[in-house]
Amino acid sequence: MPSFSRIDHVMQSVRERIAARTYPPGTRLPSVRAQAKSAGVSVSTIVEAYGRLAAEGLIEARPGSGFYVTAPLAPLSLSALEPALDRDIDPLWISRQSLEASADMLMPGCGWLPSDWMYDQGVRRGLRKAARSPNEDLTDYGSPLGLEPLRQLLARRLVQSEIDAAPHQIMLTDSGTQAIDLICRFFLEPGDTVLVDDPCYFNFHALLRAHRAKVASVPYTHQGPDLHAFEVALQEHKPRLYITNSGIHNPTGARLSATTAHSVLAMAQRADLYIIEDDIFGDLETRPATRLAALDGLSRVVQIGSFSKTLSASLRCGYIAAQSPWIESLVDLRTATSFSSNRLASHILYSALSDSGYRKHLERVRYRLSKAMDQTMVQLEQLGLTPWLRPREGMFLWAALPEEHDALSLARACLPHGVVLAPGPVLSQAPDAARFLRFNVAQCNDKRIFKVLKRALDKELSV
């Protein structure tokens, strides 16, 4: 029988190598014989140590081939944010399910409009126009800041929200997510704390984990972040950044009130906190909420946006509006990490945004959303769910389940029946998160969704 302390020693050394990523996931461990030799212990000690590590799930035996590291990379495992969440339902769960879904899946939990709600006509026109454009536009790299006419157009749009950004203060990105990622690269050191709303867009958690940032959260109210909790969080966690939606908050559909906006900004100034205002749902607003970037004059607020939610998610084009010296550094960072702006997509987007059709398209989408909101509300209330708020715009409805239900079990039960839900714990870390689900009312226009949901609520579906 090999010595326990030797077994422990070998196990500890392998664990350390996995943690230090000397053995990254998928690595084949040294053979039992080689390991025994290099550690100066018996083969049976290694057999026992490997066996126990396999039982822990850190490595796995592949018959005839050896032992392989199964553990995900420690700092960059984006899965399993909280011990309570399994790999199936982690911050990327909804993305993974929704992005991989086959065409026959029903996706009330996904974060975008059905493709026939989007502005395909504008994209088609843009494509035909691009097919006739000069060679450079089709084959050359884009400029560092991105297509100038598009930046001018974005600057004019921002002025309408009282955000005074010159075209050279706007940098095009490949997506809203890439915009946030670049700003995090600019502002954050590993270990910095970032403040988010609770609940919030799940991908903020995944993205911040990729930056090795700590996350603190503040409960979101019907008017914006809870101001008292915000103040406490500033003192307690000294966060460097706050990421929020001012227009239509994801997932609650709430909007920032003018009073709250002013207070948040005053506190940010005192605590030297920078703010990313994610305006990705802005075009769905019927009566625009106050923008932090407008109050602040782009001094400590950076606004980002894209057209993935209203025009096309296939084009990949977003933007950052910020003060000039920051834009300069952000351009360098983008050049270093993804080289150039997306020239072709920018041309197609510019074409789609600059014809009068986009405005009409938005009016139609807002009208459809408002009708879908009413209908979904009725359906959910019939099943005993209670909206946390009756949003007057946007696609999201944050709804509480009847007391005894758990959103994670419900999501698991519905998935095999072709329904992808967005369970609360993916979007919130509050104690009662598992009572909530996020619904996208534009994706709820199929009665099968509510039939499956009803059966799950009636515990007729096995998990």
Is 55 near a second copy (CB under 8 A)? no
For the chain, first and last CA: distance in Å? 43
Closest CB to a second copy among residues 289, 293: 293
To a second copy, the closest distance from the beta carbon of 303 in angstroms equals 16
Q: Answer yes or no whether residue 135 interacts with a second copy by CB under 8 A.
A: yes
- Chain mean position to CA 458: 31
Site for a second copy in 235-254 (CB under 8 A): 240
Tokens of 397: 């409805």
Give yes or no for residue 366 binding a second copy (CB under 8 A): no
DSSP assignment of 304-372 equals EEESTTTT-SSS--EEEE--HHHHHHHHHHHHHHH-S--HHHHHHHHHHHHSTHHHHHHHHHHHHHHHH
Question: Is the CB of 203 or the CB of 246 nearer to a second copy?
Answer: 203
Which of 88, 137, 148, 226: binder of a second copy (CB under 8 A)?
Answer: 137
Q: Check residue 356 for interaction with a second copy (CB under 8 A).
A: no
In the complex with a second copy, the residue whose CB is nearer, 94 or 453, is: 94
**Among candidate residues 86, 138, 75, the one with its CA nearest the CA of residue 345:** 138
Nearer of residues 207 and 233 to a second copy, judged by Cβ: 207
CB of 358 to a second copy, least distance (A): 13
Question: What would the two tokens of residue 237 be?
Answer: 């966690």
Nearest to 452 by CA among 414, 409, 424, 422: 414
Closest separation in Å from C-beta 410 to a second copy: 23
Phi, psi dihedrals of residue 21, rounded to the nearest 5° = 60, 25
Q: According to CB under 8 A, which residues from 22 to 41 bind a second copy? A: 22, 24-26
Residues facing residue 28 across a β-bridge: 68
Please spell the DSSP secondary structure of 31-74, one letter per residue: PHHHHHHHHTS-HHHHHHHHHHHHHHTSEEEETTTEEEE-SPPT
Taking CB under 8 A as the rule, does residue 340 contact a second copy?
Answer: yes
At position 82, the amino acid (one-letter code) is: E
DSSP state at residue 88: G
Residue 325 binds a second copy, judged by CB under 8 A: yes
C-alpha radius of gyration, the chain, whole number:
25
43 forms part of the interface with a second copy (CB under 8 A)? no
CB of 75 to a second copy, least distance (A): 7
Asked if 65 touches a second copy (CB under 8 A), the answer is no
Distance (Å, whole) CA 288 – CA 284: 9
Among candidates 178, 147, 177, which has minimal Cα distance to 334? 178
Name which position in 89, 123, 456, 461 contacts a second copy (CB under 8 A). Answer: 123
Q: How many residues make contact with a second copy (CB under 8 A)?
A: 88
Judged by CB under 8 A, the residue of 15, 52, 96, 368 near a second copy is: 96
Query: For residues 194-213, which are near a second copy according to CB under 8 A?
Result: 203, 206-207, 209-210
Instruction: Please list, residue by residue across 324-335, b when 16 or more beta carbons sit within 10 angstroms of its beta carbon and e when fewer do.
Output: eebbeebbebbe
Which residues share a beta bridge with 193?
214
Q: C-beta of 42: minimal distance to a second copy in Å? A: 24
* Residue 333 makes contact with a second copy by CB under 8 A: yes
Each residue 69-88 as x (binds a second copy by CB under 8 A) or -, in order, gives: ---xx-xxxxx---------
Q: Which is nearer to a second copy, 256 or 322 (CB)?
A: 322
Shortest Å, Cβ 456 to a second copy: 26
57 contacts a second copy (rule: CB under 8 A):
no
- Asked if 442 and 413 count as a contact pair (C-beta separation under 8 A), the reply is no
Of the candidate spans 31-39, 176-184, 378-386, 387-395, the one that interacts with a second copy by CB under 8 A turns out to be 176-184
Decide if residue 104 touches a second copy (CB under 8 A): no
Please select the residue that binds a second copy; options are 315, 373, 410, 426, rule is CB under 8 A: 315
